[in-house]
A and B are shown apart, each in its own frame.
Chain A
Amino acid sequence: SAVISQKPSRDICQRGTSLTIQCQVDSQVTMMFWYRQQPGQSLTLIATANQGSEATYESGFVIDKFPISRPNLTFSTLTVSNMSPEDSSIYLCSVAITDTQYFGPGTRLTVL
């Protein structure tokens, strides 16, 4: 398994600003993933972040809005850019170890 931490755990932001979420893993992993969970909804995959290459975005998500960094095998960041109230969600990072994904505790974002 893996121990995953995220910062911040929650934030309240103003419309038009950007927030960078950090994800730290206690072991080296090849694949990291970023998900969004809108209120009362299931998880939607935003992108897959592999170290040493550009992130792969799912349909409906673009790099300009959700830039991702993956500088090494234990760390990744997701930025939510030019935020609007529709971006209010829980953002979760996860890592894949063998066939299982393990999740961080999530970052609860509220955009006013």
Chain B
Amino acid sequence: SQQGEEDPQALSIQEGENATMNCSYKTSINNLQWYRQNSGRGLVHLILIRSNEREKHSGRLRVTLDTSKKSSSLLITASRAADTASYFCATDQETGNQFYFGTGTSLTVIP
């Protein structure tokens, strides 16, 4: 399966703390993207990082990419209760346009 894996599967933190989620994948990629999904809803695109980039920021989000280890991390700083959601990484392979999603991390931010 091309599906990546994320860890942890579930994460519970206090509001104001930072949350870090990791994603590993299996094949060479063009880009890696992170999405958020609130319970039972569609996916919201958060950030895209290209294979030739190592780090990217967007507001309270920081994404890193290590293509040698085939891994990425998403850091959410100063978390808020509204950040409670599932977070997925998705990769598109060099050989196609399909996206393959990681297993997801369920984040709970406690007010």
A residues lining the B interface (CB < 8 Å): 1, 4, 31, 33, 35, 41-45, 48, 58, 90, 92, 94, 96, 99-106, 108
Contact = CB atoms under 8 A, between A and B. Distances in A.
Interface residues of B, number: 24
B41 to A, nearest CB: 6
Contacts of A58: 98
Given A43-B88, A45-B98, A45-B99, A99 B30 contact: yes
B99 A99 contact: no
Contacts of B40: 90, 106, 108
A96 B45 contact: no
Secondary structure of the B side of the interface?
A: strand
B41 A101 contact: no
Contact of A92 (B42, B44, B92, B103): B42
Contacts of B33: 100-101
B105 to A, nearest CB: 10
Interface string B80-110: 0000000010101000011111111000000
Secondary structure of the A side of the interface?
A: strand
Contacts of A99: 30-31, 48, 50, 92
Given A41-B103, A45-B98, A48-B98, 9 more contacts: A42-B101, A43-B101, A48-B97, A99-B31, A99-B92, A100-B48, A103-B35, A105-B42, A108-B40
A49 to B, nearest CB: 12
Contact of B45 (A90, A100, A105): A100
22 contacts: A43-B90, A43-B101, A44-B3, A44-B101, A45-B99, A45-B100, A48-B97, A92-B43, A94-B43, A94-B99, A99-B30, A99-B31, A99-B92, A100-B45, A100-B48, A101-B99, A102-B45, A103-B35, A103-B44, A103-B45, A106-B41, A108-B40
